[in-house]
Structure 1
Amino acid sequence: MKTTIKIIFLFISMSSFGQEMRFIKDEIMNNYMESGYSTKNFIPKGETDSQKQRQGIWKDYEVIKDFTCINDGLKPKQVFGNFLLYGEGNYIDGKRNGKWVLYTIEDLTFKKILQKEVNYNKGILEGEFKYFFPNEKLAMTGQYKNNELEGIIKSFHPNGKIYGTRFYKNGLKDGKHIYIYSNGKTELVHNFINGIKDGPYQLNYSNGNIQEKFTYKMGKEDGVYQYFYENGQLWIEKTFENGLLLNVKGSYSKDGNLRDKGTLKNGNGTVIHYTEQGKIYLVITFENGLKVKEENF
């Protein structure tokens, strides 16, 4: 690659893992394509049949819209974008089949970093998937059904404790979403009828420190949203209807004092956001339940 080529870096801080990583995303990939480096080095390898369909084990490269899991020191996060992924798995008649292991790629070093494990059935995502933190600890697990997310998705803190649970139906968020601080004690439980598991998992968080909880109905937030301080004190409470923010019931300081929540009423007005120390950092204006303006402080 020519040294005169200007490389644009997308920095993703990984301070909680004691390192800083630069993943190759589309912004960086464009430069590798222009220099010709990608066509010489990011080359899929495997066998094809007489019809030029991929067969057997392949080592694959692709740039696709996806996310990677990181921890910013406060809570796990998903960073979205068009990532260059390297994958290893099997093809049958030109379609991925069985277990595939995929990696993000660190810029400059080209180190392959475990991102996820998924399962295909003739090109269709099916069954269990797992996402990982860059240190290869489990970050998320769930199920695909016919290419769509289905059922419970479980997220984890890097210490292995459950971060939260959310539910999907036909690829849409649906049901209760609950997230827990890393020092909370939680367990997943489910009902049994005549010795058979019945119904979806539930997150038992009675002994945990809840961070936030809310509900979706067929992909749209609906009902009460609550966010809490780590000491258990309610931080803010909002109400949604069919994906629209209608009201803020209350906003509280860390010691429980009620404070100015803004003017939002029936979907119109402002919402004031505070730092944990009680300083205003953002005011958002809504019209008919939709955000129309942001002011940063």
Structure 2
Amino acid sequence: MRNILFFTFLIISGVLFAQPNKVDAQGRKQGEWGKKYENKTVYMYKGQFKNDKPVGKFIYWYPNNEIKAIIIHDENSNRSVAYTYHENGKMMSYGIYRDQKKDSVWNYYGTSERLSLKETYKNGVLHGVKTIYYVPQELGKPTTQVAKTITYKNGVLDGPMKAYFDNGVLKESGNYTDGKRNGVFKMYTPSGNLQFTYRYKMDKYHGWQQTFDAKGLVIGSKYYVHGKELKGEALDKYMAKLKEKGVNPND
């Protein structure tokens, strides 16, 4: 009887001293916390809190009990390192958080663990160059081939953009200002010949829009002013006016 009572005491003590999801008198999370999927024994996540702040390692799981993410919080700073995983166990992404917002460079991977995307963040928004990669289906084929690079400023497209064919040849180039196409956009053939030139002023056609043949000669052109096409006599008068003022028609 004494042994039974002692064993029961050990079980109760273990439960009492391992109770997760506690808050202190001020309502702040303290110690071990975790949450399970509804109607399952599998945890969604487990981790530790200190004065409502996540500290140390947090682990997140898929419903099938495969690890979904591991986030390591530095107790002495606002920095956290995050690793996420596909359900097949391969790395999905890697990066850091500052104040629980994405920051600096983040790398993303496909289910074969090939690099597919690289982004730069500042205070939780895209800021800097975003690089998209070609990811071949053949697992044995190495890849570092860039498909596209675009530039962001405080979460908005702002800066140069370049796209490439899968053989590395430039496919398209242009520039964005405050989220809008601005300036000259050029498109090329897979062999690298210039095919089209489009000119924009804050997302509207402005200037000569041209088509080129394989020798680089202009075979088609249209002229626009702030999104409106000019033809015939109206175009001739406008060109004469620009020439008189010494203004470049593409400005």
Normalised by the size of structure 1, how large is the TM-score?
0.49
Task: Letter of the 1:149 partner, please give it.
Answer: K
Q: Where does 1:166-185 land on structure 2 (aligned, <5 Å)?
A: 166-182=119-135
Alignment partner of 2:35: what SS? strand
Structure 1 partner of 2:118: 165
Q: Which residue of 79, 89, 98 corresponds with 2:56? A: 98
Asked if 1:116 corresponds to 2:51, the answer is no
1:219 is displaced (CA, Å) by 2.2
Q: Which residue of 143, 155, 167 corresponds with 2:108? A: 155
Distance 1:217 1:98, change over 3 A: same
Distance 1:53 1:146, change over 3 A: closer
Alignment partner of 2:200: what SS? coil
Distance 1:172 1:113, change over 3 A: same
- Deviation per CA, 1:86-119: give whole Å up to 9, x if none: 11112334443221111343xxxxx244322113
Asked if 1:233 corresponds to 2:169, the answer is yes
Name the structure where strand makes up a greater proportion of residues. Answer: 1
Aligned length: 179
- Deviation per CA, 1:221-268: give whole Å up to 9, x if none: 22221222212233333320122223561334545566568x773212
Once residues 178 and 190 of structure 2 are traced to their aligned partners in structure 1, the CA distance between those partners, rounded to angstroms, is 30
Q: Which runs of 5+ in 2 are unaligned?
A: 1-18, 38-42, 206-225, 228-251
Once residues 264 and 49 of structure 1 are traced to their aligned partners in structure 2, the CA distance between those partners, rounded to angstroms, is 60
Once residues 55 and 177 of structure 1 are traced to their aligned partners in structure 2, the CA distance between those partners, rounded to angstroms, is 38
Structure number with greater CO (CA < 8 Å, separation at least 6) is: 1
Q: Where does 1:190-209 land on structure 2 (aligned, <5 Å)?
A: 208-209=144-145
- Deviation per CA, 1:30-82: give whole Å up to 9, x if none: xxxxxxxxxxxxxxx824256365433232259xxxxxxxxxxxxxxxxxxxx
Alignment partner of 1:265: what SS? strand
Task: Letter of the 2:34 partner, please give it.
Answer: K
Alignment partner of 1:46: what SS? coil
Once residues 67 and 128 of structure 2 are traced to their aligned partners in structure 1, the CA distance between those partners, rounded to angstroms, is 30
Once residues 60 and 264 of structure 1 are traced to their aligned partners in structure 2, the CA distance between those partners, rounded to angstroms, is 55
What is the aligned-residue RMSD (CA, Å)? 3.6
Asked if 1:56 corresponds to 2:9, the answer is no
Structure 1 partner of 2:147: 211
Larger radius of gyration: 2
Conserved? CA contact 2:109–2:117, under 8 Å: yes
Structure 1 partner of 2:40: none
Once residues 194 and 66 of structure 2 are traced to their aligned partners in structure 1, the CA distance between those partners, rounded to angstroms, is 46
Alignment partner of 2:87: what SS? coil
Conserved? CA contact 2:73–2:79, under 8 Å: yes
Task: Letter of the 2:60 partner, please give it.
Answer: L
Conserved? CA contact 1:125–1:148, under 8 Å: no
Alignment partner of 1:101: what SS? strand
Once residues 94 and 217 of structure 1 are traced to their aligned partners in structure 2, the CA distance between those partners, rounded to angstroms, is 33
Structure 2 partner of 1:278: none
Task: Letter of the 1:243 partner, please give it.
Answer: G
Runs of 4+ in 1 over 6 A off after TM superposition: none
Name the structure where helix makes up a greater proportion of residues. Answer: 2
Structure 2 partner of 1:46: 20
